[in-house]
Amino acid sequence: MDKTLKRMATMQKMQVTGLELFYAQGYYNTSVDDILKKLNLSKGAFYYHFESKEDFFIQIIQNLLARKVYSCLIEPIEGHKNPLNLISNCFEDALETAVHNEMDFGCILSNFLTEFQGKNDTIMRHLNDIVSLWEVNLVSALQKGKFNGYLDRHVDCEAVATYLMSSYFGIRTLMVGVAPSAKKYRFMGQLRQYFRSLEAKNIPV
């Protein structure tokens, strides 16, 4: 295997394992030694790829969390169709994945935002960049929908985006417990009812 590809594969494996440990134990309760033991690697091998534990975590944010958020929650709502339908389908798909995999990114991001608040400004900046990107794209999609006649002209797009983000984090956290599928079903029913209250009276065909 080409050396560059082998190095990339090694880094990917390290980051995935690191994310699993950080999620299970928390960043501050996970040491480099914990990661090395899990991967059966030497300290020299770790520091060949990463400058520090913080650098390792930031690369996880950029290479795993940010890309996951984009592919699952941002890219699916881009377009000129009814944003309420796009967002509803997007949430449905993301939550269905979470039903079968509690390591899905949703509550991981929420957990890390809570863990690093007031403790590490550098890491918080990277995490908040993901949140900000998601928020900007939600607001943009909603505003476009209002302009195209899908949403009532009185809808506050910024407020709706804030509500959607906070409710998504909330349901993802609740789904880690008992009966995730039932919780998802009830949540989506209420979300669709809420969306109906935002629709314009005469929706474009």
146: which 2 tokens? 């209002």
Predicted model pTM: 0.87
Among 44-58, 77-91, 152-166, top mean pLDDT goes to 152-166
% residues pLDDT > 70 (the chain) = 96
* Residue 21 to residue 133: CA distance in whole angstroms: 26
Q: Are residues 115 and 151 in the same domain?
A: yes
Sorting pLDDT into bands at 50, 70 and 90, what band is 148? very high
* Residue 94 to residue 106: CA distance in whole angstroms: 9
Number of domains in the chain: 2
Q: Are residues 86 and 169 in the same domain?
A: yes
Q: Are residues 3 and 61 in the same domain?
A: no
Q: Is residue 203 one of the residues assigned to a domain?
A: no
**Contact in structure between 22 and 86 (CB atoms under 8 Å):** no
Q: Are residues 85 and 163 in the same domain?
A: yes
User: What average pLDDT score do residues 174-203 get?
Assistant: 91
Other beta carbons less than 10 A from residue 205's beta carbon:
3
Among 55-59, 103-107, 200-204, which stretch is predicted with the lowest mean pLDDT?
A: 103-107
Q: Is residue 63 one of the residues assigned to a domain?
A: yes
User: What average pLDDT score do residues 33-53 get?
Assistant: 88
Residue range(s) defining the domain that contains residue 42: 1-50
Q: Are residues 69 and 41 in the same domain?
A: no
CATH number assigned to the domain comprising residue 60: 1.10.357
* Residue 173 to residue 25: CA distance in whole angstroms: 16
Q: Is residue 88 one of the residues assigned to a domain?
A: yes
Q: Are residues 85 and 41 in the same domain?
A: no
User: What average pLDDT score do residues 131-154 get?
Assistant: 95
pLDDT of residue 111: 87
* Residue 69 to residue 90: CA distance in whole angstroms: 11
Q: Are residues 194 and 127 in the same domain?
A: yes
Q: Is the pLDDT of residue 106 over 60?
A: no
Q: Is the pLDDT of residue 160 over 80?
A: yes
Q: Are residues 107 and 68 in the same domain?
A: yes
Q: Is residue 155 one of the residues assigned to a domain?
A: yes
